[in-house]
Amino acid sequence: MSLFSFLLGEKKKTASVAKERLQIILAHERGGRSKADYLPALQRELIAVISKYVSINPDDIKVNLERQEDLEVLEVKIELPDPGR
Amino acid sequence: MSLFSFLLGEKKKTASVAKERLQIILAHERGGRSKADYLPALQRELIAVISKYVSINPDDIKVNLERQEDLEVLEVKIELPDPGR
Number of cross-chain residue pairs from A and B with Cβ atoms under 8 Å apart:
150
- A61-68 and B20-29: which strand pairing? unpaired
* CATH T-level assignment (fold) for domain B20-79: Cell Cycle; Chain A (3.30.1070)
Residues 13-32 on B with a CB inside 8 Å of A are 15, 17-32
ipTM of this complex > 0.90?
no
| pLDDT attached to residue A81 | 76
Chain segment B10-66, per-residue pLDDT in tens: 887 765 666 788 899 999 988 766 666 788 888 888 888 888 888 888 888 898 989
Say whether B54 and A38 touch across the interface (CB within 8 A). Answer: yes
Examine the pLDDT at A69 and tell me if it is beyond 60: yes
Parse chain A into domains and list their residue ranges.
23-85
Please state, in angstroms and rounded to a whole number, the distance separating the CA atoms of residues A21 and A7. Answer: 12
Q: What is the mean pLDDT of residues A18-28?
A: 87
Mean pLDDT of A25-43: 79
DSSP state of B54: S
Give the CATH superfamily of A23-85: Cell division topological specificity factor MinE (3.30.1070.10)
A42–B49: do the CB atoms touch at under 8 Å? yes
Q: A37 and chain B: CB distance < 8 Å anywhere?
A: no
pLDDT of residue A9: 84
A8, A19, A45: residue with CB nearest B71: A8
